[in-house]
Structure 1
Amino acid sequence: MLLHRARTHGALLTILLILCAWAWIPPVAHAQQLTLNDGHVDAFHVTVEGGELSLNLQEDVTGSHVQHAAEDVVLGVSDQAYTDATTQVPEIGAPTYFLPQTQQQGILWPGWDTQEVRNGGYSTVQLHFLSVSGPGSVYVFEQSGLGGTSAVTDDGELTLATGSVITQEMPAHRHANWAFSAPGTYRMQVQATADGAASNTATYTWVVGEGTVAEDADASAPDVTPAAPGAGPAGTTDETSDPVSGSTGSSSGTTRYAANAQSGAPATQSKECTKLIPRIKDDRQSPASWIDPASISFALTDAARTSLPQALGPIPAGDAYMIGATQVSGVPWLGVNTMHPSLLKHTTGDVTWEITGFDGPGSLYVFTQGSLGQVIGEEWFRGQGGVAEGTTVVKRNSHVHPNWVFSGPGTYHVQLTQSSQLSDGTPVSGTATLTFEVGTGAGDANDGHFDFGSEIAQGACGEVANPGGAGTRTVAAKSQGGKLPNTGSSVLTLPIAILGLGVLSLGAGLIFTARKARWI
């Protein structure tokens, strides 16, 4: 009888502990939608996950390359985007809420990115718009050449509608013009396909004008403005938050000397150098590499030849070579970038770019694409006869593709200096020379996507800044499964612990009862 009662009490105790454990489990929280209405977004981000094609959204607003399920994000198009510039486009002919293909501060800059599909052996990707709904029309198109427009859909229409398809023939990062004819909530169901493989179907919500609040979205969902990496909500990130490698070769930088941390120590031991190191982000492979500009030269072949309808700066109308604002197969697509994680972490404010040297057999003209109906937006740099001039400011956490125009064949060297200031107000700068082989048959980069940017390197003065040499990667592998790694306790930690104590208590009770029964 005593043995029976002991076993019964032990079982009841265990059941009670298990019930208490489950009582501690909080309700599962549903993901709150994130509203993005400013900054860089790859709305259609196509990757290969576990051998399967995957479609999600990637943004550089809350951090660097943060990924989300499309359903967890609201794409906001603010009233600031409203313009009558689209009345000049014959297929539109009316004012719209307009998001240009060149980044404009204060409004969203959406595009798409298929570069990572090469990891799965894919190349051509098609974006299928299974449904497009909303209170008005949606238009997607590019500015082609110098001042023209062209469709990006396979049917040649500027209107994006149910059944539209956009074919991205090569892995690329691409932006286009978006226009919405009326305010309200628009939804798109999109699926990506490549070589017979199909991705998940993702639903995108766009809220246009009128405060940019979705009809059925959580009203408490926050609008997000650009922040440094790690400052936003949880997501996956492709890049390390603070790589502190430096550079060797042609790059130079400004040195800062920190105060001596240890009293009596030699002053030379307390020096700390912080440098802005120019880098080229090479997207010809995934993940990308940030490499020394001296290790690469850009080859402009016949694919870059164009006929200018008008003079551009020092370059007369007629034959020329050009890297355009949109990607062209067989031409290296060179942009500028102020998005390196270390730059965002250790500096404040924008980055000033100045052309400080130029040589070549002809002339150079660098400018941003003009708005609809205009050829030139803003002049950046020009070079002619060994004389260089031009300065521009590139906004923090930005990615811009200007037009680079060369008047004729030959080897050109373009020296550019980037300047910013550290978080403590100390100025910092770095200089590098870009080499362009124009129509010469030389050069080692004749295709693909590149960005000229910079990183911040820290270390004791006199150390080799980049022990890995030119081309050292500063991009970490992606987290698995689209989530941040779990490095702490979860909501189940306490219940599991209590359950474990219950099991131990039951075992101890049974052992004690069995021994006592033998004593009896």
Structure 2
Amino acid sequence: MRIRAGDRNPKRRGAAAAVVAAVVAVVAAPAAAAAPGPAPAPPQRQVIAGGHVDLATVLLENGALTVKGKGDAGPFDPAATTLNVTDAAKRPAPSSPAYGFLGVPGGTPIHVIPQTFQPEVLWAGWNTESVPRGALADNVVDLTLRAARGPGRMEVYVSGTDGPERVFSSHDPAVRTTRVAVPTHAHANWAFTAPGVYELEFEASATSVSGARLISPPARYTVVVGPHNAVATTTTLAATETPAGLRLSSTVTGGPQSIDGGVPRGWVEFVRHTSTRDEVVAHEPLSNGTAGLALAADAEALAFTARFVPAADDLLARSQSSPVANPGAPSGAVVTGVRDTYAQGETITATALVTPHRPGHTVTWWTRKAGAGTERGTGAVLTLAAGLDLHGAELGFDVRDGSGATVVSARPMVLDVRAAVLTTAPPAPATTPPGTTTAAPPKGAPPAAATTQACVPTPVTSTVPPGEVEVVTDGHFDFGPVVEGGAFSARVKDDRRGTPAYRDPASYVFHLGDAARATPPPGSGLDFLGSGPVWTIPLTQRSGVPWLGWNTQHPSVLASVKSGITLTLDKVDGPGELAVYGQDPFGGVGDRYFGTVGGFPRATTVPVGQSGVHVHAVWAFTKPGSYSVTFSIGGSIDGRPANAKSTLAFHIGPGDPKAARTGTPVVEQVGRTADGKACALPSGLASTGLDGSAVAGLVVAAVLLIPLGFLLTNLATLADVRRRR
């Protein structure tokens, strides 16, 4: 809204200045909380409605525990972030008694953040990967849901082979704390039984190795379930004459009941209207939903209004009071209620204020643009659709007597109507993402710039003796490609020490022991696994079980691969079957990706996009013993076809896990000229060997996650005989 006319009368300017000075004098008094001028702009809030979010990320900094959030784009402040569970997560509640803790009848629409990634839905979890090993007693942290408020229940649970396992509950005090090993990265199902705004508070506690008790400050999260719309508020204003002048009192109500006890937070702006101008004379923070302002006597103001400016304007809607006449107002007319700007299609609501009250007179509204006037109706309040044809138009009204003659006209307001802004596609990733480094020349090799012959990637094979492989029984790992010297190499990303390290898969044996053993219950839908025990890598990280997934997030992949990566299961050598599947939030079998059992494909395509994809699901083996699982990685690098092969080794149950690796070859890409001399490859990261050191400067890009998992077998017909499929 722009004011067309100005006041050039020096007496009136002096009166206005005197009022403002009086306001400044009042608000400067020690007992007053009001301040001159408009309210501060609300802090900008981040809204996260999809992708990977570690809702509660536990940190140990300077000997103190803290809880923060971590999303695709990096860490976020829970107090300045809104998490949105969209209607893409809506589904009917199950009828199974195993899910009776949800507290709603089967078929009731609820929203569930799934344990496995689904497009356009948050994938929420928690992690302790940034806490150093050995810094806390027993390497454990207790994560507690201190408080939960909202229109329905919130239940967090993990889907497993043997049914749901509850983790956090908003209504059951016995399900408020879970013990989390260090390091852990876990995901679960988050069910919300009613749409609306929820407020969650998490706290971490632990004992230091010196015996000191550590408790983090509570971290408060805001979750909007369903459409993300600001909740309506109502602002009222009253004016009371006092011996010193005038007292304005405003009350704001509305907003989510789950936030701050249902009492809105923010500021009230007090707006003064005269026949020539509108001005915000002061603002005051709300206290228990009220704000007030003391003014000196004002002989020029026609009216006052109060405007609510919310502290979180994505959660609470702004609102404005009806105009309140100044008890000592002079004769005049003014348009109130018109906002500064409107989006195309919004509703313009304007109110006519006329002093003194004129019975028997009619308020007639009009707009005027380029000299042409259009009558818009009569009455004290006008509603008008904001169309682009009104941009730049003046809006005003005339007060007419019974004969139709105009006795006074209001000062017009200039309307500002904005068209919807079309968003543009985000820029493509840089050729060299931040944090990547060019491979250093081998020792004694000349710099790449001085190489006169072409430096080409050349595979070099070495053999890892069985005694040098690492048997892993815990921690977070991802299998996937990197680009080295223009070719694919398979690597395992090892997150056990906080800073990722990329190593050759041949240096590991993944051991699944008793902690991974389970027997699917009857009626679970997992009949294809048979009736005996199975050994599984679950959908979420579990202590005592290596949590292996895969991803396409390496910076060299993001820079060079524009389409998807195809993972093909070439063969499985082992005593039993392997199957790969996802699970829905209520324990049913989800998508089948690949495996050796009937009905399972042998390949799946994993997108890359701009930030890569991170995959976790269930790996299941039906017999104990050693397995060699060979994959092909296929795709294109800068438009050129490329592929690589690699074998993952697993040992299931008792026995010597290192027997799964018997002189395994390790293949790495190194730079060689045509005459066989060592040279620096033109791009990519330095070769990652068996020492497990972190890749320097690695920046792990934000994640778009896809559900993936592994399935388990029907029945195995060969007990102790290794077979090839």
RMSD across aligned positions (CA)? 4.2
**For 2:151, what is the secondary structure of its paired residue?**
coil
The separation in 2 between residues aligned to 1:241 and 1:194, in whole angstroms, is 33
* TM-score in terms of structure 1 length: 0.67
Other-structure match for 1:70 = 78
Structure 2 CA distance for partners of 1:53 and 1:144, relative to 1, 3 Å: same
The separation in 1 between residues aligned to 2:424 and 2:221, in whole angstroms, is 20
* Pairs aligned (count): 408
Asked if residue 48 in structure 1 is aligned to residue 80 in structure 2, the reply is: no
Residues 140, 160 of structure 1: 8 Å contact kept = no
Shift of the alpha carbon at 1:243? 4.9
The separation in 2 between residues aligned to 1:445 and 1:340, in whole angstroms, is 31
**For 1:182, what is the secondary structure of its paired residue?**
coil
Other-structure match for 1:408 = 623
Residues 36, 225 of structure 1: 8 Å contact kept = no
Shift of the alpha carbon at 1:119? 4.6
The separation in 2 between residues aligned to 1:283 and 1:141, in whole angstroms, is 24
Shift of the alpha carbon at 1:115? 2.1
Structure 2 CA distance for partners of 1:41 and 1:322, relative to 1, 3 Å: same
The separation in 2 between residues aligned to 1:477 and 1:273, in whole angstroms, is 17
Asked if residue 181 in structure 1 is aligned to residue 193 in structure 2, the reply is: yes
Other-structure match for 2:689 = 469
Shift of the alpha carbon at 1:399? 2.4
Shift of the alpha carbon at 1:322? 2.1
Residues 229, 344 of structure 1: 8 Å contact kept = no
1:397-431 Cα shifts (integer Å, max 9, x gaps): 33222222222122110011233334x43343332
Structure 2 CA distance for partners of 1:477 and 1:377, relative to 1, 3 Å: closer
User: Which runs of structure 2 are paired with 1:327-342 in the superposition (5 Å)?
Assistant: 327-342=541-556
Say which structure, 1 or 2, has more relative contact order (CA 8 Å, 6+ apart): 1
Residues 132, 161 of structure 1: 8 Å contact kept = no
1:23-72 Cα shifts (integer Å, max 9, x gaps): xxxxx997521111110010100011122212111112x3xxx1122122
The separation in 2 between residues aligned to 1:160 and 1:445, in whole angstroms, is 47
Residues 128, 190 of structure 1: 8 Å contact kept = yes
The separation in 2 between residues aligned to 1:300 and 1:179, in whole angstroms, is 30
Other-structure match for 2:538 = 324
Other-structure match for 1:368 = 582
Structure 2 CA distance for partners of 1:402 and 1:185, relative to 1, 3 Å: same
* 1:138 aligns with one of 150, 154, 163: 154
The separation in 2 between residues aligned to 1:445 and 1:219, in whole angstroms, is 58
- Structure 2 segments unaligned to the other structure (5+ residues): 1-39, 208-212, 232-254, 256-309, 316-420, 441-448, 458-483, 661-667, 700-725
Which amino acid in the other structure matches residue 110 of structure 1?
Answer: A
The separation in 2 between residues aligned to 1:51 and 1:398, in whole angstroms, is 34
Shift of the alpha carbon at 1:99? 0.7
Other-structure match for 1:487 = none
**For 2:557, what is the secondary structure of its paired residue?**
helix
**% identical equivalent positions:** 33
Shift of the alpha carbon at 1:228? 9.5
Other-structure match for 2:227 = 210
Structure 2 CA distance for partners of 1:225 and 1:334, relative to 1, 3 Å: farther
Structure 2 CA distance for partners of 1:302 and 1:150, relative to 1, 3 Å: closer
Residues 144, 326 of structure 1: 8 Å contact kept = no
**For 1:431, what is the secondary structure of its paired residue?**
strand
The separation in 1 between residues aligned to 2:41 and 2:89, in whole angstroms, is 34
**For 2:695, what is the secondary structure of its paired residue?**
coil
The separation in 2 between residues aligned to 1:36 and 1:295, in whole angstroms, is 38
Residues 297, 443 of structure 1: 8 Å contact kept = yes
**For 1:116, what is the secondary structure of its paired residue?**
coil
Structure 2 CA distance for partners of 1:230 and 1:120, relative to 1, 3 Å: farther
* 2:593 aligns with one of 373, 380, 388: 380
Which amino acid in the other structure matches residue 61 of structure 2?
Answer: E
Other-structure match for 1:298 = 510
Which structure's CA Rg is the greater one? 2
Structure 2 CA distance for partners of 1:49 and 1:356, relative to 1, 3 Å: same
User: Which runs of structure 2 are paired with 1:68-467 in the superposition (5 Å)?
Assistant: 68-86=76-94, 88=96, 89-92=99-102, 93=105, 94-119=108-133, 121-122=135-136, 123-146=139-162, 148-153=163-168, 157=169, 159=171, 164-195=176-207, 196-211=213-228, 217-219=312-314, 241-243=435-437, 268=454, 273-309=485-521, 315-374=529-588, 376-383=589-596, 390-396=602-608, 397-422=612-637, 424-443=638-657, 463=679, 466-467=686-687
Residues 277, 430 of structure 1: 8 Å contact kept = yes
Residues 79, 211 of structure 1: 8 Å contact kept = no
Shift of the alpha carbon at 1:319? 2.6
**For 2:629, what is the secondary structure of its paired residue?**
strand
Which amino acid in the other structure matches residue 214 of structure 2?
Answer: A
Which amino acid in the other structure matches residue 87 of structure 2?
Answer: D
70-79 vs 319-328, which deviates more? 319-328
Higher share of residues assigned helix = 1
Higher share of residues assigned strand = 2
Structure 2 CA distance for partners of 1:316 and 1:138, relative to 1, 3 Å: closer
**For 1:317, what is the secondary structure of its paired residue?**
coil
* TM-score in terms of structure 2 length: 0.50
Structure 2 CA distance for partners of 1:329 and 1:182, relative to 1, 3 Å: same
- Structure 1 segments unaligned to the other structure (5+ residues): 1-27, 232-238, 247-260, 447-455, 479-520
1:430-452 Cα shifts (integer Å, max 9, x gaps): 32100011224333799xxxxxx
1:499-520 Cα shifts (integer Å, max 9, x gaps): xxxxxxxxxxxxxxxxxxxxxx
